[in-house]
Amino acid sequence: MGGAVSAGEDNDELIDNLKEAQYIRTELVEQAFRAIDRADYYLEEFKDNAYKDLAWKHGNIHLSAPCIYSEVMEALDLQPGLSFLNLGSGTGYLSSMVGLILGPFGVNHGVELHSDVIEYAKQKLDFFIKTSDSFDKFEFCEPSFVTGNCLEISPDCTQYDRVYCGAGVQKEHEDYMKNLLKVGGILVMPLEEKLTKITRTGPSAWETKKILAVSFAPLIQPNHTDSGKSRLVHLPPVAVRSLQDLARLAIRGTIKKLIHQETSGKNGNGLKNPPRFKRRRVRRRRMETIVFLDKEVFASRISSPSDENNNGEELQEDRGEEEETKPSEFKVEPPVNFLREKVLSLPLPDPLKYYLLYYREK
C-alpha cells in the first residue's frame, strides 16, 4: 500500500516522479511545484516523509498527497490575474503555489476552520517570502486567510474565477459551492467520492467532469450559536494596490529584464543556473487500482504486459543513458539570486533596498 508515485530524495525528484506519472502535465504547474519545497510545510520531526506521495496529518495540520495537489492544480487551469478561493486552506501550501501563477494582479483568498492552522499558514507564508530565492523569480499573489466555516460564507461575498474545496462535499451543498463561481469559472472539489471539476458555462449552465476516485473527510457542518444564528464568514476585500506598491512591482520587473538581457548576452540562453532535471525513461502506465489510506487516495499503477516485455531493454537503455550523461567530475554551483544581488548593489538608501526586496534579510 502506498502512493501513486515512488518517493523522491528531494523536492525536485518528487516533481520528476509526478511528471513521469502524468500527474503534472503543464509547465506552469511544474514551475510552481518546483518553486516551493513541500518539506517547508512539515514540522521538523516529520520532514523525512515530505517527499513521499502520502498525505500527512498532525493535529489540525493536514497536507494532501502530492498526486492529489497535482491533479487539483492541473484541473484549475490557472492563469495570471484570476481570483482564487481555497476552502479549507490549511497550511497554505496550495494557496502559495497558486499565488505564483496568479501574479501580482490576482486575488488569492483562503478560509480555514481552525485558528491554530491559520497561524501556522501565516508563519509558513512569512518564511517563504523572507527566505526563498524562488520568491524573486515570480511576481507573487500573496494569499490572505480568514478563520471560519466555509459553509457560512456571507451571501454578499464576491464570486471567484477559481474555487477549490479540500474536504468532501455533501450532495446537498453542491449548489452552494457552485454559486461561489463566476460565469466561466472552475470549481474543483471532492463530491460523492470523486475529485470533480465543474465549469460554470452560463448563469444556470454547468459542465461536470469526474477526475479521480478519492476519499476525503467530509465538510464539518456549521455549529450555530445559542440564538440559532450562524457566524457569517466575511472574506477579505479585494484591495486596490497602492501607487508605492505598483512602483515596486515596476522597478523589480525592469531589473529582471535587465538581468535577463545581461545573462542572455553572456550565456546565449539566459540561464546561468539552469534547474536540475534527471534523464529518465518515461513509461506510460494505466491506472488499475485505487487504494485508500487515512481518508486520502493513492492511485496504484501497474505496467501492461508490453511494459514487462520491454523492461530489460529499457533498463539497459537507462544504464546506457546514465553512463553517457554522467560526467567524470561534476560540481554543482550554488544558485544565484541575481535580482537580490542587483538590488543590493544599487546606489540606493538601505530602507529602499529592503522595500524592493520585501524587507528580506538573509
pLDDT digits (tens, 9 = 90+) for 35-53: 999 999 999 999 999 999 9
Q: How many domains does the chain have?
A: 2
* 245 in the same domain as 196: no
Percentage of the chain exceeding pLDDT 90:
65
Q: Which of 210, 239, 268 is the last residue of a domain?
A: 239
Task: Look at residue 48 and tell me if it is in a domain.
Answer: yes
Q: Residue 238's pLDDT band (boundaries 50, 70, 90)?
A: confident
Task: Look at residue 334 and tell me if it is in a domain.
Answer: no
Interatomic CA distance for residues 7 and 50, integer angstroms: 9
- What local confidence, expressed as pLDDT, does residue 293 receive? 43
Q: What residues are labeled active site?
A: 64
- What local confidence, expressed as pLDDT, does residue 1 receive? 33
CATH number for the domain spanning 92: value is 3.40.50.150
Please write the tens of the pLDDT for every residue from 64-85. Answer: 999 999 999 999 999 999 999 9
Percentage of the chain exceeding pLDDT 70:
77
Domain span including residue 35: 11-222+231-239
Indicate whether 270 pLDDT > 60.
Answer: no
Q: Which of 208, 239, 270 is the last residue of a domain?
A: 239
Residue with cell 477579505: 236
Q: Residue 245's pLDDT band (boundaries 50, 70, 90)?
A: very high
* Contact between 88 and 118 (Cβ < 8 Å): no
* 191 in the same domain as 207: yes
Task: Look at residue 161 and tell me if it is in a domain.
Answer: yes
* 139 in the same domain as 44: yes
Task: Look at residue 312 and tell me if it is in a domain.
Answer: no
Indicate whether 225 pLDDT > 50.
Answer: yes
* 218 in the same domain as 77: yes
- What local confidence, expressed as pLDDT, does residue 215 receive? 86
Cα-Cα-Cα-Cα dihedral sign, residues 346, 349, 354, 355: negative
Task: Look at residue 297 and tell me if it is in a domain.
Answer: no
* 40 in the same domain as 84: yes
The grid coordinates of residue 241 equal 494596490
* 60 in the same domain as 133: yes
Task: Look at residue 23 and tell me if it is in a domain.
Answer: yes
pTM above 0.85, yes or no: no
* 152 in the same domain as 38: yes
- What local confidence, expressed as pLDDT, does residue 359 receive? 75
For 65, what's the count of Cα atoms within 13 Å in the CB-facing half-sphere? Answer: 26
* 115 in the same domain as 88: yes
* 253 in the same domain as 235: no
Mean pLDDT (whole number) for 112-131: 95
Interatomic CA distance for residues 152 and 149, integer angstroms: 6
* 76 in the same domain as 218: yes
Which of 118-122, 192-196, 325-329 shows the lowest per-residue confidence on average (mean pLDDT)? 325-329
Task: Look at residue 185 and tell me if it is in a domain.
Answer: yes
* 199 in the same domain as 137: yes
* 250 in the same domain as 187: no
Mean pLDDT of all residues in the chain? Answer: 84
Please write the tens of the pLDDT for every residue from 272-308. Answer: 444 454 545 444 444 444 444 444 444 444 344 444 4
Indicate whether 226 pLDDT > 80.
Answer: no
Task: Look at residue 307 and tell me if it is in a domain.
Answer: no
Indicate whether 106 pLDDT > 90.
Answer: yes
